[in-house]
């Protein structure tokens, strides 16, 4: 559900709910023998926990998680699979809910934490992290992360499917259908979704060449399309006519072929398309989605709202001398200025 910025989130008992987000950042130890996890120590409470922080106005939970990790530790991450939410009661009686993701480390800039908030940052082995954690409730997301690691599903790459933002209606547009642009609201949605897409830093951008799709991606390209610490992020989309409504009519089978190529590829990717094309996209994705998460895919028209993004986490598993590519987790978020996803 979504909360308007003037509404205060409510807990189950009607009291105000404090929303926060963070990440369990992981890396393979220098000796390659096991995972290392990143913990921080709070200056205010003196407890050891995962990097996290409260939601800012107009911010989505994924953006909050990425920002807080960067501010508290100097580590830049892309978000991996979602982990269990941790809930507890604050000393003032309010409920607090912290949404977590696995954090795949991209780079780490030497940075001293803000002494007013964080007094220490440490990479620890799993046994050391378990011993250092202060709050028992912080074990739940870690337990799931370790289970994913045991099943070879922790290292994932995202595939994002984005419906273009709100466009002018067909009835009010006298030009070519391919040139129908975004409305003012659509442009605001495109601005809002840009920061959300950056939480996964897709390496490839594939888009319908029609104006409303290209315009939806432009704010993201303007803000994030650049080289970052050895990673070359796309600074322009790959324009594929097959992702347009006309392309679907001309050759519907190409959608499934393209999705198969993306699932079997090595790079994270974002695909921006139209509502009529989404049915074929979802059908193709369902074939490579585990039964346990298949019902998390959209199941009815309009499939996604304007500027809504579907985030699929793909793991590559080796079975009997072959590699299988499966979608093991699905998330949905809407790019809407001033709104944030609660659940």
What CATH number is attached to the domain comprising 276? 3.40.50.1240
107 with 209, same domain: the answer is no
Q: Which of 119, 135, 150 is where one domain is finished?
A: 150
Rounded mean pLDDT of 185-214?
95
The predicted structure's pLDDT at residue 281: 96
Rounded mean pLDDT of 91-104?
93
16 with 145, same domain: the answer is yes
245 with 191, same domain: the answer is yes
- Is residue 326 scored above 90 in pLDDT? no
pLDDT band at 15 (very low <50, low <70, confident <90, very high): low
Q: Which residue has the tokens 């308007």?
A: 4
pLDDT band at 291 (very low <50, low <70, confident <90, very high): confident
Rounded mean pLDDT of 264-287?
94
The 10s digit of each residue's pLDDT in 31-59 is: 767 899 999 999 888 899 999 999 998 89
62 with 17, same domain: the answer is yes
The predicted structure's pLDDT at residue 90: 85
Instruction: Tell me which of 106 and 79 has the higher pLDDT.
Output: 79
CATH number, residue 100 = 3.90.79.10
- Is residue 338 scored above 50 in pLDDT? no
92 with 191, same domain: the answer is no
Domain count, the chain: 2
Look at residues 266, 271, 280 and name the one whose alpha carbon lies nearest to residue 314.
266
121 with 169, same domain: the answer is no
Structure tokens at 295: 């019902």
Parallel, antiparallel, or unpaired: how do β-strands 269-273 and 204-207 relate? Answer: parallel
Strand, coil or helix: what is 70? helix
- Is residue 97 scored above 80 in pLDDT? yes
- Is residue 330 scored above 60 in pLDDT? yes
Q: Which of 110, 126, 150 is where one domain is finished?
A: 150
d(CA 123, CA 126): 10
Which residue range forms the structural domain that includes residue 330? 157-341
33 with 172, same domain: the answer is no
Q: Which residue has the tokens 């996890």?
A: 37
Under 8 Å CB-to-CB from 92, ≥6 apart: which residues? none
- Is residue 343 scored above 80 in pLDDT? no
61 with 167, same domain: the answer is no
d(CA 75, CA 61): 18
Q: Which letter does DSSP use for residue 66 in this model? A: H
176 with 311, same domain: the answer is yes
96 with 238, same domain: the answer is no
- Is residue 323 scored above 70 in pLDDT? no
Look at residues 167, 177, 247, 275 and name the one whose alpha carbon lies nearest to residue 212.
167
- Is residue 65 scored above 70 in pLDDT? yes
Look at residues 82, 339, 3 and name the one whose alpha carbon lies nearest to residue 192.
339
Strand, coil or helix: what is 175? coil
171 with 282, same domain: the answer is yes
19 with 95, same domain: the answer is yes
The predicted structure's pLDDT at residue 2: 30
Strand, coil or helix: what is 150? helix
Helices 184-197 and 61-73 pack at an angle, to 10 degrees, of: 40
d(CA 7, CA 257): 44
Under 8 Å CB-to-CB from 82, ≥6 apart: which residues? 99, 100, 101, 329, 331
* Averaged confidence pLDDT in the chain: 87
The 10s digit of each residue's pLDDT in 140-166 is: 999 999 999 998 889 999 999 999 999
The predicted structure's pLDDT at residue 340: 44
Q: Which of 150, 182, 217 is where one domain is finished?
A: 150
Q: List, in sequence order, every residue forming a beta bridge with 107; answer none if it has no partner.
A: 76
pTM as predicted: 0.89
């Amino acid at each position: 559900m979504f909360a308007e910025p003037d509404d205060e989130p409510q807990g189950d008992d009607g009291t105000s709910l404090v929303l926060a987000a963070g990440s369990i950042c992981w890396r393979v130890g220098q000796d390659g023998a096991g995972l290392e996890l990143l913990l921080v120590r709070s200056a205010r409470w003196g407890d050891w926990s995962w990097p996290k922080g409260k939601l800012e106005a107009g911010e989505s939970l994924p953006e909050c998680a990425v920002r807080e990790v960067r501010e508290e530790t100097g580590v830049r991450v892309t978000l991996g699979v979602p982990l269990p939410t941790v809930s507890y009661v604050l000393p003032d009686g309010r409920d607090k809910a912290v949404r977590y993701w696995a954090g795949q480390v991209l780079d780490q800039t030497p940075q001293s934490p803000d002494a007013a908030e964080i007094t220490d940052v440490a990479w620890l082995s799993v046994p050391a992290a378990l011993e250092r954690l202060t709050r028992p409730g912080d074990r739940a997301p870690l337990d799931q992360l370790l289970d994913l690691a045991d099943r070879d599903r922790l290292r994932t790459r995202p595939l994002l499917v984005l419906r273009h933002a709100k466009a002018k209606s067909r009835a009010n547009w006298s030009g070519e259908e391919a040139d129908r642009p975004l409305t003012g609201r659509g442009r605001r949605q495109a601005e809002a979704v840009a920061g959300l897409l950056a939480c996964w830093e897709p390496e490839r951008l594939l888009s319908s060449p029609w104006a409303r799709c290209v315009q939806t991606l432009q704010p993201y390209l303007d803000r994030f399309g650049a080289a970052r610490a050895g990673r070359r992020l796309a600074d322009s989309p790959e324009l594929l006519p097959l992702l347009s409504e006309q392309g679907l009519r001309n050759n519907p089978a190409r959608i499934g072929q393209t999705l198969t190529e993306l699932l079997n590829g090595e790079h994270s990717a974002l695909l921006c398309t139209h509502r009529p094309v989404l049915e074929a996209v979802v059908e193709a994705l369902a074939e490579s989605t585990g039964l346990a998460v298949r019902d998390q895919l959209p199941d009815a028209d309009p499939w996604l709202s304007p500027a809504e993004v579907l985030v699929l986490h793909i793991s590559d598993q080796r079975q009997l001398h072959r590699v299988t590519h499966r979608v093991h987790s699905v998330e949905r978020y809407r790019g809407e200025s001033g709104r944030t996803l609660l659940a």
